[in-house]
Structure formats: C-alpha cells, structure tokens
Chains A and B, each alone.
Chain A
Amino acid sequence: MDFDLSDDQKMLVKTVSDFGKKESTVERFRKLRDDAEGIGWDRATWKKMGELGWLSIPFPEEAGGLGGSFVDAALILEQLGKTLVPEPYLASVVLGGHALWLGGSAEQHEQLLQPMMEGDTTLALAYAEPGIRFDPRCCATTAKREGDGWRLEGEKAFVQNGHAADHLVIAAMSDEGMQLFVVDGADVKRRTTKHIDGHRGAHVDLAGVVVPESRRLVARPATEVLERVLDFGAAATVAEGLGVAFSMLWMTVEYLKTREQFDVKIGTFQALQHRAVEMFVEVELLKSINVESMIRASEEGPERPAAISAAKLQLAQGGQLVSRQAIQLHGGVGVTDEHDVGLYFKRMHALVTLCGDEAAHVARYAES
C-alpha cells in the first residue's frame, strides 16, 4: 500500500492549484456565470488547459493521450473544485472523452477525441432523459437503421456542456440493444438550460437526426462503455466534490475564527466547534474513500462499482453535511448570492446528483 503521489503528480497538483488561486478564483466563475450572452466558461482557457496537457493526461498514448491515468484527472478535478473552475472538465474529458476513448475506433479517436485533448473542441455525454432515471441498460431514446446510417428519436435532458459541445455522445436503444452515437452539436435541436450550480447544459431534441454508421461507437458493447464511463463520472464527481468540501470547511473555520458576537469570536463556542469538527471528519472520510474510488475507477471487477458507490454515498452524506453546515455556520450572509459559500453549496448538490445519486448508488451496492 502506498498513497504517495509521484513527483509528476505532485507537480500537476501544484500547477492546477496555482491556476485556481491566481487565474480562476470564484470571482472569475461568478463573472462567467452572470454573462447572459456567454457560454458560462471560456474557450481560450480551455485551449490553455489543452496545451498544459490536462485534457489529454488520462488517456493512453495509443489514443493520442499523455498516458497517465484516471487518478491524474481526479487530482485535477479536486483542485478545480476548490475554486469552482467552470470549464467543462467533467463533462468533456471524463464523460464525453472517456466514452469516445472506450467506445471509439482509432479513426474516431483521431477525428473526435484528439481535437478535444488539444483544447480545440469540447464533448458532452447525453444520457439523462426527461422524467426518468437513467439506467445504462435501457433508455427511451431509440435508434433505427436507415440506409447506411441510423435514425434517432427521443430527447435528452440536462446534458452537461450540451449547449456548447462540438460533439455529443448519445445513448439510444436499438433492436440490437444499447448503442452509442456521436452527433455534431450543430446537427441537433438544442436549447440551453440553466442549472442550479450556475453551469449550463442542454435539452436536446433528437427527432429525425440521422447519424452515419461511421459515427457509431463499436469498439466495446455500449452498455459496458456506459457503465464504465458513468463510474468514471461518479468518481470524478467525488474528486471534484472533495475540493468543494475542502474549501467550504476551511472557509467556515476561518469565519468562526473572525466573526464576533456576544463580544467573543463565535469559534469559542463549543457547540459550533463540534459542528466544525463533524465537517472535518466527513471531509477526511471523503478524502479516504476518494483515494480508493479514483484508483479503482480504472479497474475491472466487482471492487470498482463497490468502491465508487461507497464514495458517492460519502459525497451525498458527508459532502452535504459539510455544505449544509457551512451555510448554517455562516448565518444569514451564507444565504446571500454575494457570498461564495452558497455557490459551493450549489455545486455540491450538482455533483451529488450527477452520474447516479445517493439512492441509485446505495441500491446498486445493495443489489451486488
């Protein structure tokens, strides 16, 4: 057993952390969020992330990546979470990118994954549908063979980065089982949706979209790809959520040390101290299970889903204890949009919900 980061990983963490502190503070997220004309993030920053290798690091060299692992992506996400960096790392690198990597051919990697890794395009994975909870084994969107291609019917909802993505990976059910297709963002009807955490996404209407056979992902069965990608996604929400929880904890501790009432610092009150300690304990448990979930995310076999579901439960229970108590301990100011703590609170909710919420992961673990 060894939980030390390699020298390269330590360097990576430092670089991403510095980027967050110096170039992408919460203030930047807030500005991008409030720009009604924009997409909620910045293409030049995305390009820079590509140049730094952040977008290609988890992919193997034969797919055009830097040959790192998912652990590297998780380390990046943890740091991005600390200052709420809005670029679509989770949606594009982890969800869309991993679906293309696992499901795609060498040619598809070159055409669709490569430009994303370089920061020229972004991806999205469209799995959720209006009104139903998604299961990698079935969905309502259909795909029927038509000529040399496939005709899609159905709608996808709350597609993370779906509003801005150059390419969307679509899950659809055919007579032959679940299929994955890649469509161009410009070829589908999409309406930008505003999300609770200040991020944006899309409601996608696929009615009548015809996709050529060359845009079907066939390297592995689609259900297997989806199961693995959603596990990568779930592990990614935990890693980013750890960064979010970490910031909320220390922001709150700092507040307890400075805020005065009844002529004393409120951090002297034992009732509040113990509340802060409960937050700390949950962050430590989240840190622990994040280690297991990010390592096992690349494994096959039963320990992967077990570890990732356990991590997702800790995010839902522990992460949200942190985010709720952080608001409570900040008092009224925590309920204003001006204070940063509430922005973290909202991102925590989104991360808990994405790629399987508490109920879904507990049920999966219980049935295994």
Chain B
Amino acid sequence: MDLSFSAEDEAFRTEVRTWIADNMPPHLAAKAEAAGHFEMPEIMEWHRLLYSKGWVAPHWPKEFGGPGLSATQRFILSEEQELAGAPPLSPFGLVMVAPLIMRFGTDEQKQRFLPKILSGEEVWCQGYSEPGAGSDLASLRTSAVLDGDHFVLNGQKTWTTYAQYADWIFCLVRTSAEGKKQQGISFLLIDMKTPGVEVKPMQTLGHTPAFCDTFFENARVPKENLLGPLNGGWSLAKALLGHERTLVAAVGQTRRTLRLARRIAEHQRGADGKPLIEAPHWREKLARLEMRLRAHQMTNYRALVEQQKGHHPGPESSILKLVGSILVQEADELCMELMGEASLSWHDEGAVAPFEQWVGPAFCYDRATTIYAGSNEIQKNIIAKLILGLPSS
C-alpha cells in the first residue's frame, strides 16, 4: 500500500502546472483568480490552447488523437486545471458524444465528427431532457419519423446547456411507440443549422445564460446521422451516464472553493474586529469541510487506482457523484455564510472584494450539482438496486 504518486507522475504534475501558468491568457487568469464564471467563448479559447498542446482530450485513445496518458496522469491533468481555476471544458463533445461515436459510430461518422470535436472547430450540446421527461428520461416524446432518406423531428428538448453556441446537438428521440418505452428510442446527431431547429436561451439561478430550450419543427435530419442501431439508443444513453458521473467528483473545484473560503475568512471581520479565521467557530466549520473532502478525495483515488488497472467505472461512481455534488454546495454555502451581509451582493462590481464577486452566483447555480447528471435521488436508486441488491416494489 502506498499513497504517493510516482516520480514520473510528480514530474508530469510540475509540467502541467508550469504550462498552465505560462499559457493561460491574462484575461482568463484574472477571472480564474476571482473564481469567476466563464462564458462559452472563453471556454473554447482555453479548449484551443489545450488542443495545441495535445492535452484537450486526455481520455481519448491515441488513434483518435488522444495523448496516451495513464489514468493517473489524466487525473493530474484535470486536477491541476481545476486547482488553477481554468475554464472547465465543455463536456458534451469531448467527454459525452465522442466516446459514443468511437464505440458505436460508422467509419464515416468517426472521420466526420471526431477531428472537429478535438480541435474545437465544432461545439456540441446535449438534447436529453424534455419538459415531461427528467429523471424518467425514457418517457421522452420528441419524435423522429423516417421519410425517405431523412428523419423528420418534432418536439422540445430542455436543459440543452449552451445550445446557443453549439454547431451540433446529440439527441435521444422516439422512433417507435412499440414495446417498452426504453425500446423505441434512437440516438441522433443533428446539425443546429437545420431548418426547423430553434434555440431559446434562459437564465440560470446564477444569472448566467447557460440553459436553453431547443425546439424542433419538422426538422429534417439525414438518415446517416443515426448513431448506433435504430431503436437502440437507450443502451447508448446508459453507457454515457457512467462517463458523466466520474466527472462530478469535483475534488479540485471544492478544494479551490475551500481555499476561497479561507481567503474570505481572512478578509471578513467579526464584531471584535478580528478576521473570522481567528475565531474557533469559523475555523472548525472550515476544518470539518476540509476533513470531509479528504475522505471524498481518497474515494476518488480508490476509483482512480481501479481505473488505472483497466476496470471501468461501475455503480460505485454514483458515490463520487452523491458526495461530490453535496460538497460543492456545502463549500459554496460556507463562503456565503462567511461573507455575511456582503453575500447579498449580486453581479455588482465594486461592492465586494473581487474574489467575493462570484460567490453568490456560484452558490445559486451550484444547486444544479445535485440535480444534473442523474439527480442524487436517482443515484441512490442505482446504488440500492445494483450494489445493495434491495428489491423493487
């Protein structure tokens, strides 16, 4: 048993850290320093920089342009970016649809889509949820009816995050009403410029324009944009949820937020005029979260070591999602609490210290962490059934 990273991995960590420090443009670094919210153009700017270094898709196999890093190095690469506060890359192309194209796509689809996902030339978004299909995703109703060489789409997708910037959307659509509701679903790749596709952005609770509704009205999608078998989309969707869950351990993000909390506690003063960090009450609150994060981080390491051995993330990855999402929220909540009245400030430059500026919006937006990527209640259902073996009603 050994807790340390190898000398080779430590050297890689230094390389990554140095590269980030040397290559993050000043306007992104300033926003990172202020723990600010990155908009899509900034995210894609960082994407292209990482692409030029060869690090944008660490988990991709070499044959598709991945850098051939070990699981541990991939982890280090992502952790260092989180710790530096770098813009979080859009996962929809790189992490979500690309592995499915690699696994289920035709050669034409691989050649058509993968290089542009890698370079960032084409931006993707996700079309899963619908107003009537959230946790019960299989009840989705957006229909795709075959008409000659095209599917004709009608319906509405929601939470199509950053669809206003997207060139492509991947969608789960209903292609059959026969059998169980999971059986009539297909996976389609759709050009956002297709006539009949319309995007309506909406503001999130953090007042960032991340969410969108995407409407389809007789949108014609070529047959060759079907990914995987007709009516076989549900198994693709399930494969994807496993990928997504390992993303949300968010260890680096929470470590960073707790560092921010410490900074706020050094800045804000109590009634005695002393910084809050000197009061045992606040120190212990901070300590408790740091200690809990330590246990979560070790769980993440355990998963990482399993992955390094070539094991795919199983239902255990639900634990990372459950605990990680709550820690993100608790760290935000502590920052808000430390700020006191200053936490009332809302997108108002100058009212609070620059590093306190984004605490409120993050506190609001991060309520999503326990909901997205399969709500925590859904994760609990998964663990109850697949790990604990509890009976269904």
Contacts and interface: CB of A to CB of B under 8 A. Distances in A.
A307 to B, nearest CB: 7
A313 interface: yes
A1 B5 contact: yes
Interface string B364-393: 000000000000010011011001111111
A296 interface: yes
Contacts of B304: 1
A325 B281 CA distance: 28
Contacts of B381: 270, 273
Contacts, number: 125
B298 A276 contact: no
A256 B294 CA distance: 31
A273 B381 CA distance: 8
A123 B323 CA distance: 41
Interface stretch (A37-45, A170-178, A359-367): A359-367
A296 B3 contact: yes
Interface in A239-295: 253, 256-257, 264-265, 267-270, 273-274, 276-278, 280-281, 284-289, 291-292, 295
A310 B295 contact: yes
B9 to A, nearest CB: 8
Interface residues of A, number: 46
Contact of A276 (B1, B4, B284, B384): B384
A292 B287 contact: no
B153 interface: no
B323 A281 contact: yes
B341 to A, nearest CB: 25
A295 B1 contact: yes
Interface in A90-138: none
Interface residue range, chain B = 35 or more
B344 interface: no
A284 B384 CA distance: 14
A362 B287 contact: yes
Contacts of A267: 390-391
A273 B384 contact: yes
Q: Is the interface of A mostly helix, strand, loop or mixed?
A: helix
B1 A285 contact: no
Interface string A66-84: 0000010000000000000
Nearest to B322: A281
A356 B392 CA distance: 42
Contacts of B287: 362, 365-366
B59 interface: no
Interface string A154-174: 000000000000000000000
Contacts of A257: 389-391
B388 A1 contact: no
Contacts of A277: 380, 383-384, 388
Contact of B302 (A253, A276, A288, A306): A288
Nearest to A256: B390
A208 B383 CA distance: 60
Given A363-B284, A366-B283, 15 more contacts: A1-B304, A1-B308, A3-B305, A270-B384, A273-B390, A285-B323, A288-B296, A289-B295, A292-B294, A295-B1, A307-B294, A310-B290, A310-B292, A313-B291, A366-B286
23 contacts: A1-B304, A1-B308, A2-B1, A2-B305, A4-B1, A71-B1, A256-B390, A273-B384, A274-B380, A276-B384, A276-B390, A277-B384, A280-B383, A280-B388, A281-B319, A285-B292, A286-B295, A289-B298, A292-B294, A292-B298, A310-B294, A362-B287, A366-B280
